[in-house]
Amino acid sequence: MPADPLHRAGMPQRSTTSQPPSGSGASAIEVRRSSRRRRTVSAY
């Protein structure tokens, strides 16, 4: 999971301190960004 540390560096405190509905949304966005990045790398 090399993309995890990079994304965490972007907003580590927000993901750890934001555990309410806001945290859930951020998690979904991170997962979607990871999927898109993996698909782009695969397509390349």
Write out the chain's pLDDT in tens, 44 residues. 455 555 555 554 554 444 555 555 555 656 666 666 666 565 55
Q: How many domains does the chain fold into?
A: 1
What pLDDT score does 15 carry? 47
Whether residue 36 is contained in a domain is answered as yes
What pLDDT score does 35 carry? 62
Whether residue 3 is contained in a domain is answered as no
Phi and psi angles of residue 2, each rounded to the nearest 5 degrees, phi first = -75, -25
Whether residue 38 is contained in a domain is answered as yes
For residues 4-24, one letter each, b for 16 or more C-beta atoms within 10 angstroms of the residue's C-beta and e for the rest, the string is eeebeeeeeeebeeeeeeeee
Domain holding 25, by residue range, is: 18-44
20 Rama sector, left if φ>0, alpha if ψ -120 to 50, beta otherwise: beta
